[in-house]
Chain A
Amino acid sequence: MAGEEKILHVRVTAADTRALRNLLRDERLDVGGGPAPTPGPGDERSIEAFVTEEKALGLEREDVAVHVLGDATAIGRARQEEVGTGDRFADPGIVPHGLGQKVKDQSREG
C-alpha cells in the first residue's frame, strides 16, 4: 500500500533480564512472543519486535543491541498475495477438509 510506514522485524538483545525488562517498560514495543535467553554463555535475553526504522535506531544503547530480521511490511504484502479471493465455498456442496489423514482401523468395531 503506497505511503505505508515500513515496519522492521527485529531481535532486541539486552545484557540481562533487568535491562530487557526496563526496555520493555519504557519503550512499549510491539512484540512477537516473549523474552528468551540468548544461546551461549552469559545472561543476555532477547525478544522479537516490530518497529519503524527510526525506532530501531533509537533502541540501540550500551546494554541493548538490535538485529534486523526482515522487512515486516514487505513480507506482509507478499503474504496478502496468499489470501484467497472470492469464496471457494460459495457452492454449499463444497465441504472443507482438514489436514489429518483419515485412516480406517478396527477400534470402533464390536
Chain B
Amino acid sequence: MYLNITEVDSALVNLSGAYPSLCELIDLPETSVEGVACHALRLRADPDGGPRDCAVFIGGVHAREWGSCEILVFFAADLLEAYSTGSGLVYGGKTFTAAQVAALLEGLDIVVFPLVNPDGRQYSQTVKAMWRKNRNPEYSTGVGDCVGVDINRNYDFLFDFATAFSPLSDVRVSADPCDPQVYQGPRPFSEPETRNVRWLLDEYPRTRWFVDVHSFSEDMLHVWGDDENQSDDPDMNFQNSAFDGTRGVDGDTAYREFVPKDDLDSASGLARHFTEALEAVRGKQYTAKPAFDLYPTAGTSDDYAFSRHIVDPDKGKIHAYTIEWGTEFQPPWAEMKLIAKDVCAGLVQFCADAPSTVTD
C-alpha cells in the first residue's frame, strides 16, 4: 500500500536509527503550512571524511503524485541496506555491483527529501485525490480551489511571468489564487515548503545535482523550462530584460534560453544514463529531453536550481532535473512498485555516473 504522511516520516526516522553510521536525519527548518514537521536524510559512508559533492533528491511536491515519496524512501533504503551488507543491487535486468554501491556512498553526499508537501498529500490521500497544491488558505477565500500554492511555481525564476513571457506563450503558471493547479503564490518563496528546499541547497553548498521527482509522462527533464535551449548567444538569457515579452514560444527564434554547450552536454548525457539504466530493468522507455518540451514554465525547482550560480557567481553550479515517472498520477500499488523499481535503478545509475561529469 501507499505510504501515508505519517509513514513517510517514520520510515525516514527508522532508517536513520537503523543505519546511524551511514545516515543523518535532517530537520527541515520550517513546518508545513498546517504545522507538519519535515525531515530529510543525508546518506554518506565514512562520515568523518571531508567535504564532498552532494546530490539532492526531492519528492512529494505535487500532492497527487503519490509514488514520488515511495520512490525516494525505497531508493534510500536500498542504498543503506546494500552498503551495510556489502551487497550489490539488482532491479530486474539492471545490476549494480557491491563495489559500485560502495563507491557511490563513499564518494557522494546524497540528500533525500521525500515529502516536501505533506499537507497536500494528506488532503489528496483522504479527500480530493486530484489535489496538486499545498494547503495554504491565506491568499484568497480559503475555500475550494481558492486554497493552496503550486510549490513548483513558487521558486525564484522568471516569477514575473506576465512581463517575461510572450502573450502567445501557453506558459503553465497562474497569478490567480483560485487557479486549481498552478497558482504561483504572491511572491517567490512565499511558501514554507519551497523555503525548505532552498534551505537544503544553501545548507549543502557543494550540491552539484538536484532531482525533483514528479509524474507523469515517462520523461527525464533537464533545463531549461522557459524556452528552447541555445548555446550561441549568451546575451539571450533569463536576466536580460531586453527579451521581456518574447519568452516561451515554441519553434520561434525571437528567444531561446542560453546554456553553455558543455553544460547542456553534461545535463543531457546524465539524463540519458538515467533512462538507459531504467530501460534495462523491464524495458520501459523514458525520454531525456529539455523541460520546455513538456510545456513552458516559470518558477520551477529545476530552473531555479540551475540558475542560482548565474544569478550569484558565489554559488556552485547545480545541474537540475525533473523526473516524470509513469503514465498516471496514482497507479494501482502493484504497478507503482514496478515503476519505483524502474526509477530507483535510474537514480542509482545517475549517482554512479554523476561524479564523472564534473569538469570544473
Contacts and interface: CB of A to CB of B under 8 A. Distances in A.
Contacts of B102: 108
Interface string A72-103: 11011101101111111110111111111111
Contacts of B1: 82-84
A1 B128 contact: yes
Interface string B151-191: 00000000000000000111010100001110000000000
Given A95-B18, A107-B100, A100 B7 contact: no
A110 B6 CA distance: 43
B141 interface: no
B126 interface: yes
B98 interface: yes
Contacts of A83: 1-4, 66, 125-126
Nearest to B17: A92
Interface in B200-221: 215-219
A88 B7 contact: yes
B170 A24 contact: yes
Given A98-B78, A99-B74, A103-B87, A34 B295 contact: yes
A61 interface: no
- Number of contact residues on A: which range applies? 35 or more
Nearest to A25: B170
Interface stretch (B8-16, B25-33, B49-57, B233-241): B8-16
For A7, A9, A92, A101, which residue has the most chain B Cβ atoms within 10 angstroms? Answer: A101
A21 interface: yes
Contacts of B345: 100
A39 to B, nearest CB: 15
Interface in B75-94: 75-79, 81-82, 85-91
B324 interface: yes
B230 interface: no
A26 to B, nearest CB: 9
Nearest to A81: B1
Interface in B101-160: 102, 125-130
Contacts of B266: none
B311 interface: no
B174 A100 contact: no
Interface stretch (B254-262, B302-310, B312-320, B333-341): B333-341
Given A24-B295, A89-B10, A92-B13, A99 B341 contact: yes
Given A25-B170, A33-B324, A84-B4, A102 B87 contact: yes
Given A24-B295, A88-B7, A97-B77, A103 B95 contact: yes
B191 to A, nearest CB: 20
Contacts of B36: none
B7 A101 contact: no
B11 A96 contact: yes
B250 interface: yes
Contacts of B250: 17, 21
A90 B11 CA distance: 9
A31 interface: yes
Nearest to B174: A28
A98 B81 contact: yes
Contacts of A75: 129, 330
Given A33-B324, A84-B7, A103-B95, 4 more contacts: A90-B10, A93-B14, A98-B74, A103-B90
